[in-house]
Amino acid sequence: MAKTPPTDIGDVLILLPREPVTTFAVGAVVREGQADFHQADEVAHVATIILAVQAATVLLRPTGRIYLMDLDAGEWSELPAGLASATRVTGQPSAR
């Protein structure tokens, strides 16, 4: 897997915290290939992954994707669309 997520404008990036920090950073992608929030204007800082996903769904454009970037491992993954949709409605991930 590539070290940089294939982000595009309209996507949202969640940065998973480095240990022992427990704050998640969430923000809209404003440039293709973005993997951090350096020079970003608006970044939310939240305490849990559930709050991070909720914040991401608010920022997400209809065709956008949510990427999780693990700062410790330097790896990324894409959040499944169904999980993002379920979290938007209920505030909790669905048990599907």
CA distance 14 to 17: 9
Question: Domain spans of the chain?
Answer: 12-90
pLDDT per residue rounded down to tens, the chain (96 residues): 557 889 999 999 999 887 777 899 999 999 999 988 987 889 999 999 999 999 999 999 988 999 999 888 888 999 987 666 655 544 444 443
Output the CA angle 86-79-60, nearest 5 degrees: 70
Q: What pLDDT is attached to residue 87? A: 55
In this prediction the pTM is 0.78
